[in-house]
Amino acid sequence: MSEPAGNAIPSGDPFALFDRWLGQARAAEPNDPNAMALATATPAGSPSARMVLLKDHGPDGFVFYTNLASRKGDELAANPQAALLFHWKSLRRQVRIEGIVHEVTAAEADAYFASRGFDSRLGSAASDQSRPLADRASYLARVEALRAEYPDGDIPRPPHWSGYRLVPAAIEFWCDREHRLHERRRFVREHAQAPWTSTLLYP
């Protein structure tokens, strides 16, 4: 499902456009319309990418949560530049977002962690994400040990688990078109308080 030719990618507010596209994706995508590829890199420029879930967004940025001691956490601590990619295949659209990440506040991380299901909280607290694991049984045993330690479900947020907010410096929207005559518009700004400018790009 792609929009008809014409002004399908307007030049106004990129956040409002993202809201509209995400809303349409939630109605069309069968699974995880908030899934996005997160690309990070070491200071030497060695890249890595993985899928994460968008948990909040707005003019202040795009938020996801993770283990701070994971590979992506290590890379973001050393090099806070990152990129996001949404691909909504059912709508034949993509959104690319680039910018600098900042850790969310402890209050934000606490609130989101508390909103998760008990098993999800157990899994996060038991995981040394990205670190070597002898066998899966060892991980599951840690999960069950925490379940026994917190039978009331009131497991605290581990200090190594938090979130990041990517503050965008560039947002690019892409629409599929017939005969691969696709449409792209890129928005850029110099800093978080600066106005956005945009231009169409050759596909």
Provide the 10 A C-beta neighbour count for residue 28. Answer: 14
- For 64-83, what is each residue's pLDDT tens digit? 999 999 999 999 999 999 99
Give residues with Cβ within 8 angstroms of 148, minimum separation 6: none
Domain annotation covers residue 56: yes
Integer distance in angstroms from the first to the last C-alpha of the chain?
18
> What CATH number does the domain containing 76 carry?
2.30.110.10
pLDDT of 58 over the 70 cut: yes
Please say whether the dihedral angle defined by the alpha carbons of residues 102, 108, 110 and 112, taken in this order, is positive or negative: negative
Total structural domains within the chain: 1
Domain annotation covers residue 142: no
In this prediction, residue 45 carries a pLDDT of 93
pLDDT of 5 over the 60 cut: no
Helix (H) or strand (E) holding 186: strand 183-188
Provide the residue range defining the domain that includes 73: 14-107+161-201
Taking residues 115-128, report their average pLDDT: 91
pLDDT confidence band for 17 (50 / 70 / 90) = very high
pLDDT confidence band for 129 (50 / 70 / 90) = confident
Domain annotation covers residue 1: no
Domain annotation covers residue 98: yes
pLDDT of 7 over the 90 cut: no
